[in-house]
Amino acid sequence: MNTNNTSRKEFLASLVVSGLALAGCSSKGNPFDTGGTDIKPTGEKVKLLSVDGEVIEVDKAFLKPVPEMPAVSNNEARKGIPGKKFVMVIDLSRCKNLRKCQEACNHMHHIHTDLNWLKVYPMEEGEHTAPYWQPTTCMHCDHPPCVKVCPVDATFKRQDGIVLIDADRCVGCRFCMAACPYSIRVFNWEKSDMVTPELAAQPYSCESSMPQKVGTVGKCDFCPDMARKGELPHCVSACPNGTFFFGDINEDSVTNGAETFRFSDLVKDKAGYQLMDDLGTKPSVYYLPPASRNFPFEKGLENEKGKS
Amino acid sequence: MEKIILTDEKIKSDLLPQKFGRRGMIWTAILIAFCAVGLFAYIRQLQNGLIVTGMRDYASWGIYISNFVFFVAISLVGSLITAVLRLTGVHWSTPLTRIAEIIAVSAITFASLIIIVDMGRPERFYNLFLYGRLQSPIIWDVTVIITYFVISIFLLYLPLLPDIQILLGRKENKGLHKLYKFLGSFWKGTHMQFRISEKAISILCVAIIPVAFSIHTVTSWLFATTYRPGWDSTNFGAYFISGAFLVGSGAVVVAMYVFRKCYKLENYITDMHFDKMGRIVVMLALLYMYFNVNEYLTPVFKMKKSEEAFLNGLFIGDFAPIFWSAIFGGMIIPIIILLFKKGRKPLPMFVAGIMIVVGAWFKRFLIVTPTLLHPFLPMHNVPENYKHYFPTWEEWAIALGSLAGALLIITIFARIFPIIPIQETLIEEHEKAQHHK
């Protein structure tokens, strides 16, 4: 467990540093710009991990909180974060259809409740099997059927495993929606009132998937803008029951914010599986079966009221 | 039966394009009105987005796409009548080639337009050329449709050149002479020109067959390359092609009847032509039925869980009335009519043709939408209206407008050019006369 924690810290630190380095490249909001020479070194040093993995020392006076990092360019966003391969684990035994995940996702991405990117399905395999709740995000497949059919490369697969959409390029043919066996893609049938004029005026960012544009397709993006900041996707941090785990398969660790597990152990011990993997889509989302559930299924039905 | 002697002059004056009569005017006005309403609906769609349609996230393709498939299907008849019959040495189909070819050109034109109508961002259409990716079936479709359109235009245009020369030599239709001159004044009818044209037509006839197969096979792959119940089928290419030849032939039969009636072409489109087309239609309908049996009955035998709701929806559920109407009205009843010699007379053929075309339109709807309303995961966390699909008036107006537009192209074409090839009819008559001597 201890080693896991260290690696997680390193993971976050390296993300921050690489974020700083990236931000440093742009002229605006340069975090290394001290705003003149009036900052006096205090002599108190802080140890940091450099991008090369070396431990370096920086004077405390030069440390500033990470500013709102400018979104990476859409060209950069197509490449993905080097060395990463993101993965999600959803523990079905913890879900009671509270849909805090959905609320947070909608709120943070400014999407209407009719167009939920994240849906929680009531599932039941067979007549005599137990029902359960299944939160469903984009599977970020390694063989994404949606990417295969896109005629203009508007939806693409990155080296870190994430499948994103360039809403500035999407022609709105909706072939990807027909191709996705998980039906996770949504279409912006009309101008959304959730997109404020200020937001609409911003250039579209593939990594934040904002602002959503009328006549184009939208979907769960695994929040790569958060990953760049070393933070968890909104659904993961919003779930009070810790249903969602997010992490990097190369580091073999996933976390829901409170608990961190070795990914391979978690999936092995709890018999994790992928949704409809028989289709050959190779999803990046793993489910842990709804065994020994924390809540009875019926508890979740209460949350169905008043919502579609 | 009394044999009417067809002199060159009679043939020419019979087949020249004629001014619209009262009925022609009303017909054209109705078509224009439908187009105008469709255009108005499309402007509304451009202003408000696709929200004006009945499509939502599950039924994300609706009657625009089924209309597109219908148009592509019907356009295949150009290659059947012009190329397949020509290459197999069939001569009786000569008077029908131009009808088939103009149906093909107008249908493929509106297939392209309706697919742009379906796009959420039509103004980005050029992205298909800027960023086109070869692995997407849409790019294959764009490529083959453009190719098919170009070949069809040439197959319409080249045989038209000698007729344009004839038209230019007449006093009638003076107002159109400018257009005729622009299109065909270079054609002098020399031996050399005929030879080049003949050769070009032969090459195009060979080329168009694989292209025709490609356009509809690729169109079927828009569906068959996905995982969905009802689309995930290896039968789809052949199933689509056979259906396409059927609906196209049905359309030609309808057009034959209408042109014969309106332009008094009884000497040129004879009962013999109906009889022969009737036999072709029966064969094609039987072929299509064979593929339907394969398409629906093998999955029904297995009743896979993922397909169960979809198949039940078609056979006994919400879509059953349309499904059975399309199967019986669009296939079985026409087969029964046309199996009898009396059924292959013009009027019953016309009725059967209409049934086939209308049935085929609804069949395309059944191919597109029911599948989308039966996803693998439950339809949940969406508004109630996402779970059903019924087209809005805007969609109907646009779809009907596009159908009217295709008919309008055919109507205007027949007003400007002879719908039966004059030159080829002359040659045929001369050959016949030689035989008799």
Give per-residue pLDDT as tens, B286-317: 999 999 999 999 999 999 988 999 999 999 99
Q: Which of A211, A184, A203, A173 is nearest to A281 (CA)?
A: A184
Smallest CA–CA distance, residue A237 to chain B, in Å, is: 21
Dist CA B102 CA B100 (whole Å): 6
Give mean pLDDT, residues B394-423. 96
How many alpha carbons fall within 13 Å on the CB side of residue B235?
19
The yes-or-no verdict on residue A28 having pLDDT over 90 is no
Residues A264 and A240 in one domain: yes
User: Would you call B380 and A122 a contact, using CB atoms and an 8 Å cutoff?
Assistant: yes
Distances (CA, A) of A135 to A102, A184, A264: 9, 11, 21
Give mean pLDDT, residues B369-376. 95
The yes-or-no verdict on residue B244 having pLDDT over 70 is yes
pLDDT band at B7 (very low <50, low <70, confident <90, very high): confident
A115 has a chain B CB within 8 A of its CB: yes
Q: Is residue A86 part of a domain?
A: yes
Residues A108 and A58 in one domain: no
Q: Is residue A253 part of a domain?
A: yes
User: Would you call A178 and B223 a contact, using CB atoms and an 8 Å cutoff?
Assistant: yes
Smallest CA–CA distance, residue A31 to chain B, in Å, is: 36
Mean pLDDT across chain A: 86
A interface test, pick of B64, B136, B389, B394 with most A CB neighbours within 10 Å:
B136
Residues A122 and A171 in one domain: yes
The predicted pLDDT at position A2 comes to: 46
List residues bridging with A88 in a β-sheet: A246, A285
User: pLDDT by residue (tens digit) across A173-197?
Assistant: 999 999 999 999 999 999 988 888 8
Residues A115 and A21 in one domain: no
The yes-or-no verdict on residue A1 having pLDDT over 50 is no
User: pLDDT by residue (tens digit) across B99-119?
Assistant: 999 999 999 999 999 999 999
Q: Is residue A119 part of a domain?
A: yes
User: Would you call B384 and A215 a contact, using CB atoms and an 8 Å cutoff?
Assistant: no
The predicted pLDDT at position B19 comes to: 87
Q: Is residue A282 part of a domain?
A: yes
Residues A25 and A93 in one domain: no
Smallest CA–CA distance, residue B219 to chain A, in Å, is: 12
User: Would you call B228 and A181 a contact, using CB atoms and an 8 Å cutoff?
Assistant: yes
Residues A297 and A200 in one domain: yes
Helix or strand or coil: residue A273? Answer: strand
Q: Is residue A306 part of a domain?
A: no
Residues A86 and A150 in one domain: yes
Residues A150 and A249 in one domain: yes
Q: Is residue A230 part of a domain?
A: yes
Q: Is residue A227 part of a domain?
A: yes
The yes-or-no verdict on residue A6 having pLDDT over 80 is no
Q: Structural domain of residue A133, as residue ranges? A: 77-301
Residues A109 and A55 in one domain: no
A150 neighbourhood in chain B, CB within 8 Å = 133, 136
The predicted pLDDT at position B283 comes to: 96
Of A2 and B91, more confident: B91
The predicted pLDDT at position B223 comes to: 96
Residues A43 and A90 in one domain: no
Helix or strand or coil: residue A57? Answer: strand
B283, with CB counted inside 10 A (0-12, 13-18, 19+), is: middle
User: pLDDT by residue (tens digit) across A262-303?
Assistant: 999 999 999 999 999 999 999 999 999 999 889 989 888 888
Give mean pLDDT, residues A46-59. 82
A308 neighbourhood in chain B, CB within 8 Å = 381-384
Q: Is residue A156 part of a domain?
A: yes
What angle do helix axes B22-48 and B393-416 make, rounded to 10 degrees?
Answer: 140
Residues A256 and A130 in one domain: yes
Number of domains in chain A: 2
The yes-or-no verdict on residue A19 having pLDDT over 60 is no
Residues A161 and A199 in one domain: yes
The predicted pLDDT at position A3 comes to: 46
Give mean pLDDT, residues B232-258. 95
Dist CA A182 CA A281 (whole Å): 10
The yes-or-no verdict on residue B2 having pLDDT over 50 is no
